[in-house]
């Protein structure tokens, strides 16, 4: 507790000395004064964590004094000492900004307990402030790796809209970094000191998603044994990030539209209207315009969400970002795995520059993490890369460079490459892969078995 500095103001020398000697024995730093003038001077010149003041000094309104000192130091915890100990005095003290009050003659052990609580509380506040500063540093726009012109445009636009309250729609394929951009926007906004709450709209069915977003009252449905606040309430004065917004059901689209338009909602099973002071950032990898044409997405909601649209290009369209990303991820995962990986071989770098990255930056990160873990040397080599990266041929499917075998053998090789590439492009989802190839899912499964292609 040695780092807690306490200012004591009491016009009774005997009381003042008793408190001072006790606190010094407890290893606190203490300054004891007898007048308001001395107290104000000390607070202007020095830093204190606790101000312990008598409420009954003649000619001094201690409640006004406590309010005044908190203007100088808002983090200062004020404890009022009163000889009367009435509820009225306590209420006035708390309204004036006091942390608590103690009746005189004060119980010194109770005072020590109060100071301990204040110290713990201020440590939490300090840690929270430091954490937010770290998050700001971590999610600076210039910390997002990307030197291409396309990414410069993305970051410039995101930086310009960060300070506003405008709703932002982030668009791009999975793995391009939409969440990273959303975090950077939040931590550079006027809401950075409040929460950033993320919700994956595709992760829950409609009934559960409604409760997740808006909360529920006790007894609203089976299993609702108590009131629960939703993500919009948790994000009050902050930002809510709704990922995969294109997967919302029609019913949830209506409810979200109301929140955006009216800035209010009710918990599930409740009738109390709750105001929502929340900035909304959404993200999708779907073609929303096509979904509107197919009546899967409300046009009025789209226009509410699309106030500012930021399109994050896929990695294959900004290959000039790959070298910087390689260096970043190699350094990151070398530190995390206590490996001395200093670089990457020219052959491995060439393979990674040619690869198409259907999973975008997220896939590149996974590739490098795996390579760092498996690397036997101080530099990543081609053999440390996954086989599908080693055998890839540029941005297209794996095709033999030379036609050495029979026609059937060559066609089998080409077909196998097309199957592998289609699965990669479809994120391993067989239905989508079959649609891309123009075959049925049953035929796809047969061919996967024929060519011994693992489904994962």
Write out pLDDT tens, residues 444-456.
Answer: 888 888 877 765 5
Q: Taking 70 as the threshold, does the pLDDT of residue 394 lie above it?
A: no
The predicted model gives 39-47 an average pLDDT of 88
CATH 1.10.8.60 residue ranges for the chain: 316-390
Distance CA 100, CA 83 (A): 14
Q: What is the CATH number of domain 316-390?
A: 1.10.8.60
Homologous superfamily of 5-129: Response regulator (3.40.50.2300)
Query: Please, which pLDDT band fits residue 39 given cuts at 50, 70 and 90?
Result: confident
Helices (H), 391-437: 407-425, 430-437
Q: Which residue has the tokens 């306490």?
A: 6
Higher pLDDT, 314 or 145: 314
Our CA angle for 122, 137, 327, nearest 5°, is 140
CATH 3.40.50.2300 residue ranges for the chain: 5-129
Please state the length of the chain.
456
Which helix or strand (DSSP H or E) is residue 260 part of?
helix 250-262
- Topology classification of domain 139-313: Rossmann fold (3.40.50)
pLDDT at res. 1: 43
What DSSP character marks residue 102? Answer: E
The predicted model gives 2-27 an average pLDDT of 88
Stretch among 82-96, 153-167, 271-285, 416-430 having the lowest mean pLDDT: 82-96
Report which of 68, 28, 63 is spatially closest to residue 48, judged by C-alpha positions. Answer: 28
CATH 1.10.10.60 residue ranges for the chain: 407-450
What would the two tokens of residue 289 be?
């315009």
pLDDT at res. 152: 87
The predicted model gives 412-441 an average pLDDT of 79
Stretch among 5-19, 50-64, 196-210, 278-292 having the lowest mean pLDDT: 50-64
194 phi/psi in degrees, rounded to 5: -115, 180
Q: Which residue has the tokens 């440390």?
A: 384
Does the pTM exceed 0.85?
A: no
- Count of H helices and E strands in the chain? 19, 14
The answer to whether 120 and 34 have CB atoms below 8 angstroms apart is: no
Q: How far apart are the first and last CA of the chain?
A: 56
Report which of 312, 31, 37 is spatially closest to residue 151, judged by C-alpha positions. Answer: 312
What would the two tokens of residue 108 be?
């010194």
The answer to whether 455 and 430 have CB atoms below 8 angstroms apart is: yes
Stretch among 23-27, 162-166, 168-172, 409-413 having the lowest mean pLDDT: 409-413
Q: Taking 80 as the threshold, does the pLDDT of residue 64 lie above it?
A: no
What would the two tokens of residue 205 be?
């069915």
Whether the ω angle into residue 105 lies within 30 degrees of 0, i.e. cis, is yes
282 phi/psi in degrees, rounded to 5: -125, 165
- Residue 307: CB atoms within 10 A of its CB come to 15
Distance CA 398, CA 12 (A): 89
pLDDT at res. 380: 94
Helices (H), 294-385: 299-305, 322-336, 346-354, 360-374
Q: Options 1.10.150.120, 1.10.10.60, 3.40.50.180, 3.40.50.1370; which CATH number does 407-450 get?
A: 1.10.10.60
- Residue 48: CB atoms within 10 A of its CB come to 22
Write out the E strands in 188-278.
196-200, 239-243, 264-266, 273-275
Distance CA 41, CA 65 (A): 12
CATH 3.40.50.300 residue ranges for the chain: 139-313
348 phi/psi in degrees, rounded to 5: -65, -40
pLDDT tens profile 153-185? 898 899 899 999 999 999 999 999 999 999 999
Write out the E strands in 91-134.
100-103
The predicted model gives 91-104 an average pLDDT of 78
Mean pLDDT, rounded, of the chain: 85
What would the two tokens of residue 40 be?
């104000």
Higher pLDDT, 330 or 95: 330
Query: Please, which pLDDT band fits residue 399 given cuts at 50, 70 and 90?
Result: very low
Taking CA atoms, 441 is separated from 157, 160, 221, 451, in Å, by 42, 46, 39, 15
The predicted model gives 361-372 an average pLDDT of 95
Q: Which residues, other chains included, contact 342 with Cβ-Cβ below 8 Å and sequence gap of 6+?
A: 378, 379
């Amino acid at each position: 507790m040695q780092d807690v500095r306490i200012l004591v103001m009491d016009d009774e020398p005997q009381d003042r000395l008793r408190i001072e000697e006790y606190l010094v024995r407890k290893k606190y730093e203490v300054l004891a004064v007898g007048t308001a003038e001395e107290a104000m001077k000390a607070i202007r010149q020095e830093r204190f964590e606790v101000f312990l003041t008598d409420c009954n000094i003649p000619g001094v309104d201690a409640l006004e004094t406590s309010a005044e000192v908190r203007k100088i130091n808002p983090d200062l915890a004020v404890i009022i000492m009163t000889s009367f100990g009435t509820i009225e005095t306590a209420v006035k003290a708390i309204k004036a900004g006091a942390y608590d009050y103690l009746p005189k003659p004060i119980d010194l052990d109770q005072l020590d307990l109060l100071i301990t609580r204040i110290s713990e509380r201020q440590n939490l506040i300090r840690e929270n402030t430091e954490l937010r500063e770290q998050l700001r540093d971590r999610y600076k726009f210039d910390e997002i790796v990307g030197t291409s012109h396309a990414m410069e445009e993305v970051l410039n636009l995101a930086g310009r809209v960060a300070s506003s309250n405008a709703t932002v729609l982030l668009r791009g394929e999975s793995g391009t970094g939409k969440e990273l951009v959303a975090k950077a926007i939040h931590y550079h906004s006027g809401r950075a000191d409040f929460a950033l709450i993320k919700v994956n709209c595709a992760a829950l069915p409609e009934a559960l998603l409604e409760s997740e977003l808006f909360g529920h009252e006790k007894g609203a449905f089976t299993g609702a044994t108590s009131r629960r606040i939703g993500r919009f309430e948790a994000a009050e004065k902050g930002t809510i990030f709704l990922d995969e917004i294109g997967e919302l059901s029609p019913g949830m689209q209506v409810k979200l539209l109301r929140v955006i338009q009216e800035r209010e909602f009710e918990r599930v099973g409740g009738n109390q209207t709750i105001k929502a002071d929340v900035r909304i950032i959404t993200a999708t990898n779907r073609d929303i315009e096509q979904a509107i044409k197919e009546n899967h997405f409300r046009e009025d909601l789209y226009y509410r969400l699309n106030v500012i649209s930021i399109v994050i290009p896929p990695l294959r369209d900004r290959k000039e970002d790959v070298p910087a990303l390689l260096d970043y991820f190699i350094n990151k995962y070398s530190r995390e795995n206590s490996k001395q990986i200093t670089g990457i071989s020219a052959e491995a770098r060439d393979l990674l520059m040619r690869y198409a990255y259907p999973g975008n930056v997220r896939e590149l990160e996974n590739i490098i993490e795996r390579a760092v873990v498996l690397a036997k040397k101080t530099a990543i080599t081609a053999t440390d890369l996954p086989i599908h990266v080693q055998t890839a041929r540029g941005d297209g499917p794996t095709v033999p460079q030379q036609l050495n075998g029979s026609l059937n053998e060559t066609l089998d090789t080409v077909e196998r490459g097309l199957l592998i590439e289609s699965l990669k492009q479809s994120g391993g989802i067989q239905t989508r892969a079959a649609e891309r190839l123009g075959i049925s899912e049953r035929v796809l499964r047969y061919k996967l078995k024929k060519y011994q292609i693992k489904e994962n």
